[in-house]
Amino acid sequence: TEPSLDEKLKQRIEKHPCYSEEAHHHYARMHVAVAPACNIQCNYCNRKYDCANESRPGVVSELLTPEEAAHKVLVVASKIPQMTVLGIAGPGDPLANPEKTFRTFELIADKAPDIKLCLSTNGLMLTEHVDKIKQLNVDHVTITINMVDPEVGAKIYPWVHYKRKRYRGIEGVKILHEKQMEGLQALREADILCKVNSVMIPGINDEHLVEVDKVIRDNGAFLHNIMPLISAPEHGTYFGLNGQRGPTPKELKALQDNCSGNMKMMRHCRQCRADAVGLLGEDRSQEFTKENFLEMTPEYDI
Ligand code: CLF
Ligand code: SF4
């Protein structure tokens, strides 16, 4: 059984299609792809495509400037009134592109203050930016946490780029791990709702994710979303060189069941693209390509 949420918390999530399973039937989200750079390397990532930590592999989203992104949000909001949440989730790491990410949020908060702002990050630069995130009223932050043991992490992350220096192997993973844990605590202290995404990689972190679930829950995460590795070389995802497979739906469900303590487990994630538009199950991104939306004017002032 799910824990009972107090009224205030309910209100914060009731129109967010990812944080509330119920909401995803009625409310839509959109992403704007304003953040191209990334500061770590995941073994399953091919940089030609969207960030695989919050995205469907094999998809190339059209990069936008913050101004183009803000225009797009107003256009979409006037065509899709159920659109309640604007997320920045790539195509790289939003906090490896802080100027672009925050400029976009500022423009949207100014022109469409009713739209909830959402952010997804690998967590490396979260503590540096948590004050700004709070100040901009971003109430939903996702951190992708694939391990809490750097030995496991060493099989997932070959390097981390932190403060102008590249750290290889376990040295880099330790920095990432510490920063992710600090980031979780900083979100808790700032009272920002935190979801954790974990990519399930059979034979690498699948059993370990039970421990990850426990640690993040103890550190105040609100929701855990375990996503399957989608491993397909033709889609630009691969794991190392040895043809790592993704989990079967049965394996994924078994792990999610194993983890379900007293924290909610997200089970309706659709692994969206970095320029996704619409309800979680529908993809309307192609109605709003740059070529299209730049020609459209919002139907009303929001
Ligand atoms: Fe986007 Fe992510 Fe915000 Fe949702 S998606 S930044 S929390 S608004 Fe949602 Fe898509 Fe799954 Fe992400 S279904 S990939 S969990
Ligand atoms: Fe790729 Fe995302 Fe990992 Fe960066 S955080 S390497 S963009 S999957």
Residue nearest to atom 9 of ligand 1 (CA): 18
Residue nearest to atom 6 of ligand 1 (CA): 87
Whose CA is closest to 106, among 128, 136, 71?
136
CA gap 293, 302 in Å, rounded: 17
More confident residue, 71 or 47: 71
Tens-place pLDDT, residues 128-146 = 999 999 999 999 999 999 9
CA gap 24, 155 in Å, rounded: 34
| 53 C-beta closer than 6 A to ligand 2 | yes
Pocket probe for ligand 2: among 53, 166, 237, the residue whose CB has the most ligand atoms within 8 Å is: 53
Atom number, ligand 1, closest to the C-alpha of residue 18: 9
Degrees to nearest 5, angle at CA 101 with 99 and 103:
65
What are the backbone angles phi and psi of residue 195, rounded to the nearest 5°?
Answer: -110, 145
Q: pLDDT tier at 46 (50, 70, 90 boundaries)?
A: confident
Q: State residue 241's pLDDT score.
A: 42
Pocket probe for ligand 2: among 31, 39, 41, the residue whose CB has the most ligand atoms within 8 Å is: 41
Whose CA is closest to 120, among 138, 100, 99?
138
Pocket probe for ligand 2: among 47, 49, 122, 227, the residue whose CB has the most ligand atoms within 8 Å is: 122
Cis check for the bond before 17: say yes or no (omega within 30 of 0): no
For residue 150, the CA-to-ligand 2 centroid distance in Å is: 17
pTM for the structure as a whole: 0.93
| 40 C-beta closer than 6 A to ligand 2 | yes
- Residue 268 gets which letter from DSSP? -
Strand, coil or helix: 203: coil
| 16 C-beta closer than 6 A to ligand 1 | no
Classify the C-alpha dihedral 264-270-275-276 as positive or negative.
negative
For residue 18, the CA-to-ligand 1 centroid distance in Å is: 6
CA gap 15, 24 in Å, rounded: 8
pLDDT at position 263 over 90: no
Indicate the average pLDDT of the chain.
90
For residue 6, the CA-to-ligand 2 centroid distance in Å is: 35
CA gap 191, 294 in Å, rounded: 36
Residue 124: both structure tokens together = 């490396």
CA gap 229, 243 in Å, rounded: 12
Q: Is residue 261 a contact partner of residue 44, using CB atoms and an 8 Å limit?
A: no
| 18 C-beta closer than 6 A to ligand 1 | yes
pLDDT at position 161 over 60: yes
Q: Is residue 77 a contact partner of residue 11, using CB atoms and an 8 Å limit?
A: no
Q: Is residue 262 a contact partner of residue 255, using CB atoms and an 8 Å limit?
A: no
| 193 C-beta closer than 6 A to ligand 1 | no
For residue 197, the CA-to-ligand 1 centroid distance in Å is: 9
Whose CA is closest to 3, among 261, 258, 185?
261
| 260 C-beta closer than 6 A to ligand 2 | no
For residue 182, the CA-to-ligand 1 centroid distance in Å is: 22
| 271 C-beta closer than 6 A to ligand 1 | yes
Query: Minimum-distance ligand to the CA of 91?
Result: 2
Q: State residue 232's pLDDT score.
A: 66
pLDDT at position 55 over 80: no
What are the backbone angles phi and psi of residue 109, rounded to the nearest 5°?
Answer: -60, -35
pLDDT at position 237 over 60: no
Q: State residue 233's pLDDT score.
A: 59
The predicted model gives 254-273 an average pLDDT of 85
The predicted model gives 230-247 an average pLDDT of 63
In this prediction the ipTM stands at 0.94
Tens-place pLDDT, residues 77-100 = 999 999 999 999 989 999 999 999
Instruction: Tell which phi-psi region holds residue 127, choosing left (phi > 0), alpha (psi between -120 and 50) or beta.
Output: alpha
CA distances from 117 to 64, 87, 193 (A): 17, 6, 11
Query: Minimum-distance ligand to the CA of 271?
Result: 1
For residue 63, the CA-to-ligand 2 centroid distance in Å is: 16
- Residue 286 gets which letter from DSSP? G
Tens-place pLDDT, residues 120-130 = 999 999 999 99
